[in-house]
Homo-oligomer: A and B are copies of this chain.
Amino acid sequence: MELAEGKQKFIEAWGRLGSEWGINRTMAQVHALLLISPEALTTEDIMDQLSISRGNANMTLRDLIGWGLIEKQHRPGERKEYFYAEKDVWTIARQVAQERKKRELDPVLKVLNELSAIKGDEKNPEYKTFKKSVGDINKLAKNVDKTLTTMMKAEESWFWGSIFKILK
């Protein structure tokens, strides 16, 4: 396979994975493009290479900045903005984990805690089943939360080293 074809495949695969996990396909593709670009790109570069509109490119780039995955760069003497992706994959993983935790896991944990506090008749099967399921999910979610929090602070080699020492 040639490099040019490989790039297309990578952008496509990253876009598909993103959309399967609730991330806008275009956003994932722009991220993929920047990930494999040695130099920062302009909005126009991105519009051209992915055949997307200016509006779409602009909004997507802002979102990616919001996720902490890319940054704006300026070049002396130029008005245009350049965009450059963080290339360290572990940093990317932590960043995504942090954002999704904040946006999705944390709110759900809040609801689960409220629901865990509901009182009722222990003789009532409706109540018992509700309580059990909510409680169990809450425990699991808390474990995931703790693991993510650790991961977000950790060095990659230490993290996987620790995981595999045990899980092997």
Contacts and interface: CB of A to CB of B under 8 A. Distances in A.
A13 B114 CA distance: 12
A90 interface: yes
Interface in A125-155: 125-130, 132-134, 136-137, 139-140, 143, 146-147, 150, 154
Given A16-B108, A20-B103, A150-B168, 6 more contacts: A1-B114, A3-B120, A10-B115, A38-B126, A89-B137, A143-B163
A39 B125 CA distance: 9
Interface of A: 1-3, 6-7, 9-10, 13, 16-17, 19-22, 35-39, 87-90, 93, 103-104, 108, 111-112, 114-115, 117-118, 120, 124-130, 132-134, 136-137, 139-140, 143, 146-147, 150, 154, 160, 162-168
Given A19-B22, A111-B9, A87 B132 contact: yes
A37 B124 CA distance: 12
A140 to B, nearest CB: 5
Nearest to A121: B3
A90 B136 CA distance: 9
Contacts of A22: 19-22
A4 B16 CA distance: 39
